[in-house]
Amino acid sequence: MKRALISVYDKTGIVAFAEKLDQLGWEIISTGGTKTLLEEAGIKVIAVEEVTNSPEILEGRVKTLHPHVHGGILFNRDIASHQATVDEMGIHAIDMVVNSLYPFEETVKNGVASKAEIIEKIDVGGPSMIRAAAKNYKDVLIVTATEDYERVADALENDQNTLELRESLAAKAFRLTAFYDAMIAEYFTAETNEQFPELFTKGYRYKELLRYGENPHQAAVYYESPLEEDFDLEQLHGKQISYNNYNDMRANMDLVQEFDEPVCVAVKHANPCGVAVGKTPAEAYQKAFEGDPISIFGGIIGFNRTVDAETADQLARIFLEIIVAPDFTEEAFAILSKKKNIRLVKSTKLGEFKGKKTTYKETVGGLLLQDKDLSIYGEDGIVLKSDRQVTDKELEDMDFAWKVAKHCASNAMVIAKDKQTLALGHGEVRRVWALEDALERSEFPLAGAVVASDGFFFPDTIDTLHEYGIKAIVQPGGSVQDEKVIEAAKAYDISVLFTGMRHFKH
């Protein structure tokens, strides 16, 4: 007679599945709460203790770790010596393992569990049984997900217990144990503050199939990282968020996070196209919009304050892909939700959460990991290097422009005034081209504006700035050309400030 060992933390659907196995003539072995539940449902159950001839010990930490369990799962039915061993030891074959693991991830994420409680939710016996059954999938069914109960029952009832089915279930089981171990490794790595461990393990869970990737001919899926603190995103309205939307939205939110004052950030193709600080979200949006009213069309708009009706009235006047904010008032939602295609995304942590401490991207043969660029200035802060003194207002504008430049693709130039971007140049292979692009495209008078550059200047950029009447620039410094730049700036009575920190973004 076939035997199934059932031991599940998540009891969803298990009674119906066990009843089906019982009807098909399977014997059922079980433990603890699962055994009690099945017996209460009138299903005959063999206790694990009857199989092992050994009681549970250590408050349930050891119950299935026994030769009569693992031997019954792992022995190869085609090897005569294996069969002889289990016969000699009186080990009965176990032909199916049904298991769900202790909720380690959920315990970590609930935010109130002690370290001792978290450690107690590290399953040992479960992964061992799962891996054993998955390794011996040619002879053993391994069922680890409630959504598979029906298809397994149907396969058994219709004599379709194929090798293909068992291999598929084994692959799913190995993904589960690998993911589970990755969650545990991620937790302990964070606890021990190991930033770049010798083995980098991360677990991601499928969330949704996207319409397509960067282009319509590319398939794409969104996976979430469960243990990473996130922005607590909730889509309130609109069609599905796309691959490019997710990418642009992250770029937007990273820049929004730089500001404490009410800010509006507009992003297009992962680059800012308008950024402004205002006394209210409505004022911030109007200034950001005026900075580039053409590029903002079809862009992604981010706020660090709740969107109110006044702001919503302005936002509703043009087509926008996404608006993301800590919240929307009822009036604002009513106004914006009339537009079918706009996505409204609530992020309760926007404006207070700085994101993960490391970032990574795929490269040739592997991944590149680095500290996230969270700092703004070097150890000495922002330092004046030329003769002309800057006003407090210029200093505020340079701080604003510097934060924006940090989030533009290199080479990047940001021209700003009154905490509003007047022109942006980014992604050029020559820094002076980025500057010329920004200057030539600006539709504002630039007298009194400041310029921020993500990298150091050369003397030719000073000449160009002088032609446009700009008197204050901020840059990292650190070039062999620094002295020449400073002397050129002195000759034009231009203020040059160094930040002591570069912010390339590639």
Ramachandran angles phi, psi of 428, nearest 5°: -90, 155
Surface-to-core class of residue 202, CB atoms within 10 Å of its CB (0-12 exposed, 13-18 middle, 19+ buried): middle
What SS3 class is residue 161?
A: coil
Contact 449, 416 (CB under 8 A): yes
CA–CA gap between residue 235 and residue 220 (Å, rounded): 19
Amino acid code (one letter) for 447: A
> And the tokens for 324?
């993301």
CA–CA gap between residue 149 and residue 155 (Å, rounded): 10
DSSP string, 458-477: -HHHHHHHHHTT--EEEE--
Contact 390, 398 (CB under 8 A): yes
CA-based nearest residue to 248, from 152, 150, 170, 322? 322
Is 135 one of the catalytic residues? yes
Please pick, among 82, 92, 202, 269, the residue that the annotation labels catalytic. 269
Is 20 one of the catalytic residues? no
CA distance from start to end of the chain: 62
136: preceding bond cis by omega (within 30 degrees): no
> And the tokens for 404?
């924006």
Plot region of 13 (φ>0 → left; ψ -120 to 50 → alpha; else → beta): left
CA–CA gap between residue 188 and residue 200 (Å, rounded): 12
Contact 323, 343 (CB under 8 A): yes
CA-based nearest residue to 481, from 431, 446, 433, 408? 431
CA–CA gap between residue 95 and residue 77 (Å, rounded): 11
Amino acid code (one letter) for 244: N
Gyration radius of the chain's alpha carbons = 31
Please pick, among 20, 135, 349, 490, the residue that the annotation labels catalytic. 135
Looking at the chain, how many residues does it have? 506
Contact 30, 45 (CB under 8 A): yes
CA–CA gap between residue 286 and residue 293 (Å, rounded): 10
Which residues lie across from 320 on neighbouring strands? none
Sheet holding 450-453, edge to edge: 383-384, 495-498, 472-475, 450-453, 412-416, 421-426
> Which residues are the active-site residues?
135, 269
